[in-house]
Structure 1
Amino acid sequence: MVGQVLDGRYRVDARIAVGGMATVYRALDTRLDRVLALKVMHPALAVDGAFVERFIREAKSVARLAHPNVVQVFDQGTDGSYVYLAMEYVAGCTLRDVLRDRGALQPRAALDILEPVLAALGAAHRAGFVHRDMKPENVLIGDDGRVKVADFGLVRSVDTVTSTTGAVLGTVSYLAPEQIEQPGTADARVDVYACGVVLYEMLTGEKPHDGDSPAVVLYKHLHEDVPPPSAVVPGLAYELDELVASATARSPQIRPYDAVALLAQARETRAGLSPDQLDAMPPQALSAQHSNSDDRTSVIPRSLNIQRPLPVNGDEPQADFNRTSRLQTPPPPPPSHRPRTSRRPRGPMMIVAAVLLVLGLGVGVWYINSGQFTQVPPLLSKTEAQARDRLEDAGLDVGKVERAYSDTVKRGTVISTDPGTGARIRHNDSVKLVISQGPETVKVPDIEGYPLAKARTELKESGLQPGMVKREFNDDVTRGSVLSADPGTGTEVRSGSAITLIVSKGSPVDVPDVTGEDPADARAELEEAGLKVKIASARVNSEFDAGQVAQQSLTEGKQAAEGDTVTLTLSKGPEMIEVPDVVGDSVDDAKSQLEAAGFEVDEDRGLLGLFGDTVKKQSVEGGETAPKGSTITITIR
């Protein structure tokens, strides 16, 4: 779909991700000139009316959920076979990307991500929504550090990845037991359970339950508790174990009742942790951050009581590794007549030599692996001068500098680097910079007087998009030709912007009233005025005789453009309705009954009925039929 314009408004620029239910694209709203994410349902699912109806209904509900940590829904629509959502575009990455790149996170970082997620879910829970599919893929982390939850309340396509049964929604690694046992009855506590699993994964770098198939994972969710994170990462505070255990209790009655309650527990847990506990570095993070070989070695936990293997005969255990071996003194040599030469003890010298050798090897390995390398510092969104300073501080040179247009990156700041941020690079190597020139601008071409089709082609060739069409009467410009553009000719606008076209409707024409006429006469009169005529297939009851013109789409007094079409609806004749019998009734009651039936009422009092109040006669007897709207005369005596 890249390059297409959906609904005449959303230009698809790039594909971001593909899921089981939809594909997500980066797109430009050509009407408001802003970048957004466009989620387009797979056409195979769009034929399911019930699925589409729920998709739209829940999208409308989420659009009303205004929260800073929720990915907002701006618009929903259809274009042919495409059903789409227009959503907030978050430039950054997902929590899954972070876990894949970094593994386990520090407790402080894990809580910094968990708390805004729970705040978003809490707002949804209090508004009556349940997410049902919380997982790291649905947690977005923007380049500015903001955390947002995506895919609120939207139904998932059920397949082998998301579940094992058509009644279960969600991803198997994060399903609560009750979602498996009682599909369709999930409440806010299923999101609490999934958040507990996500927290475990952030603290340990791995999922609590794994298996060779989804069925194995589902079985473990039902029959095994989530283990404490400290079992995988020794040294984690027990308060974090308790927080995970509370959120992932297999019985929903034991869990916090919604995300708001879990958020309160998470904040209480944070308050009870010391700075050292919050900043405890996971083992793989420590080894990745330190280049000193001694530091790397010290990270590996060493046992203080590791036994040597038993000898082959298995009779006696050898001495422990942690005990210092003592050099056994050999028996004194037999007496010799040669003179003895004094020897200096060699033990300390050998130890010093061994230490120097190890240090030399360590330094050599460090230099080969790390000493001659550095990492490309983060430069995105920095000015060119700031980027140069950062590269210089990192011991790197600025390589080729290119400039490119960008709709999203501020003019004069870095769009990208080669190698990218965090890449391993030798000292004094160069880094290529791509600097934003801001959005590409083009001038609106002169299309006044062009036929509409040609004007649209000219705009597209100029890098612009034809936008809304407005039509106005004009005596000088031919019908269907462009009067002007908005913005006007020569105005500089962003490439891809939508241009409004004002198109001539030609000279105005006065529309004659042809109701009550025969169709042939009505057609001739309208065509003589420069209008086209169409006869509607359906007919209506009216005051006019059957076959005469009962209604016209453009009425007398309104102006139309020459060549416009007037649709004529013919009459079936008046509607015949039964007349109520009002003889003997009072005048007021008689009038009320007749008018309620759809008749006009005329009173005939004569000289004798000036002071009377009783109906003695009616022009159409009760029980007979008369045209609706006709007049019934009542005689009063």
Structure 2
Amino acid sequence: MQEVSNDPLNGSTIDGRYLVVSKVAHGGMSTVYLAKDLRLGRNIALKILHPHLATDTAFITRLSREAQSAASLSHPHVVQIHDHGVGPQHAYLVFEFIDGYTLRDVINENGALSLRQALDLLDPVVEGLAAAHNAGLVHRDVKPENVLISRQGWVKIGDFGLSRAVTTSTNTGTLLGTVGYIAPELARGQGGDARSDIYSAGIMLYELLTGQQPFRAELPVAVVMSHIQDELPAPSLAVPGLPPVMDELVRYMTEKDPDHRPANGAALLEDLRHIRKTLSPAELDFGASPDGPIIPSGNQHTALTTTLEPAEHTEVITGPRSFPDATSVIAPPSFPTSVLPSSPKLYAEDPHADLYPTVALAVEKDDVAQASHADDDSSEEAPPLTKRQSALAAKERAKAAATPTKNLGPAKPKRRALLWILLVLVLGALAAGAGWFVGFGPGALATVPDVHNQSVPQAQEMLLAAGFEQIPTSEIFDEKVAAGLIVATDPSAGSSVRKFKTVTLQVSLGPVLYPVPAVTGRALDAATAALKEAQLTAGTVTEVFDEKVPAGVVLSQDPAAGKEFRAGTKINLVTSKGPKPIPVPSVAGMSEGDAIAALKAVGLVSVTAPEQVNSKTVPAGVVLSQSPDSGNLTAGGTVTLTLSKGPKMIGVPNTVGKQVGAATAELKALGFEVEVKNLLGGFFGTVRFQDPSDGQAPEGSTITLQVI
């Protein structure tokens, strides 16, 4: 439900473009408004970040980067990011406006759904995740609050980019908002990938089937520990009668070890659709309500509040279960498709007209005889004859065929003999010419000579000598034959070919050469891949220390970029090992000046601790300790020096007149050493003299007692 609020931003324009219409909701990270894009004239969802995030430069940088990546993803089941910006007063994100409700509203309204309903809602979510994973995006906050359903029935998943940026900035806040769906590896702080989204989707599927989350407790940390340690209960324990394959699917999606889950959204989508095909209608509709799922109604803009905490969901207004605007199925037309009879002629000028019967032109009875003598090759197509006209035409043709048109005269034997002689001579000449043509002339067979590795003039001369005159050339690349020489002929050498045929000389262009790409400054893996793509290969890889370039980055290459070589040529690379390690020298016991000089000599920096420490053994001003005191640092590394204040000065009590035992105990308790000297055998055990007897003395110094 849209909130009624006197928010000061209502009616204002953000960044000169987005007119704030009304406040929708308020969450831990942002305030969400329904706004209008004045430039494009459309409604949008405007998320204005809270000041503590808007002033966090590192967070804004991450948010900008993640928003740009997410905006490149365009898919019908992913809420589109249109814009983001940072101004003097506000940092904001602009999302596609979805007028509808969230999957959380559906679960709250209906509780457990039938298997068909659950799969209908999960399928587009997984399809959207598959598209995101394929584009290299991971959501990390998949939950019903982030699944939006428009009034037209579109299911979309939102908040790509924002969830990752917030996770990086404030793990605690994000954890508390999503403990019901968090993957074990994210709960352990180990980072996540596409398989973390699969785990959250599995928890969401469990909730769709049972109406409740699998792990529930009063304290969020207890829920988190359940995700890490406890096995997920089978949904059929809460809803007896579910097909066993659904227990297996939920278990597969929510394995504690990411390696045992589907690799990404595309893999899960394939499994999900395969499983659905194996289920019977009765299994799919198990537990279905006769009226279907109750769809939240009312003027809801829950689609705008995808990042709010669960306690701040948009309120659901229960409405009637009939929907006059719902999508309906249009009945098929009452006129089924029919097949038209094929035409005997497909074109105005039918190329296959000779396949059809020829129809003669005959219109009147008096024209029948003329039609019967018409030329069979006439190009004009006549109209079809009636049966009567066809019969008359056939009768006239038979009569004409039976009537002679010319009388034969007497035979002339001499003329006929002369004609036969001339015919024989012509045929003989033709046979002789043909014999010469195919035996000795241009039609004679000749063997194509071997001109491999010859120059073009040499090859042409050899072919002319063999009788070939049509000798064109063509150019081809060859790895073995030098440029300008003949690789082969077409037809090949040794073939028998008529001399008038063409013999083509294939002239070598030399080997195919590939330019060396510039790989300096790239990581070694990326450089190797670039060389492989360029048909080259990485040769010797040498590692050297470098104070400025991170380890694993290519410093130089040989040969240099731009030169051309054959495929498979090795390119030698020099990569950085990072800064050279410097062993930390021991400077304890040195004076401060000597210690600083010793560290500077090896390229390290010294820092003197502000507090000095008393020492019984180390004089004042001398280095008492250092941190680190061993190991390796890189150039410019810092070593902290702690200086001695010398021994601690302690007031000396006067013990003259006391028994030697009590005096000794008192002095040792103060940190002094005690030396006892007996006078006259020390018979009475009383301290007669003490040195020193008053004032202060260094801790650990010796007090001499003379006892009588």
TM range (shorter): 0.3 to 0.5
The higher radius of gyration belongs to: 2
TM-score (ref. length: structure 1)? 0.44
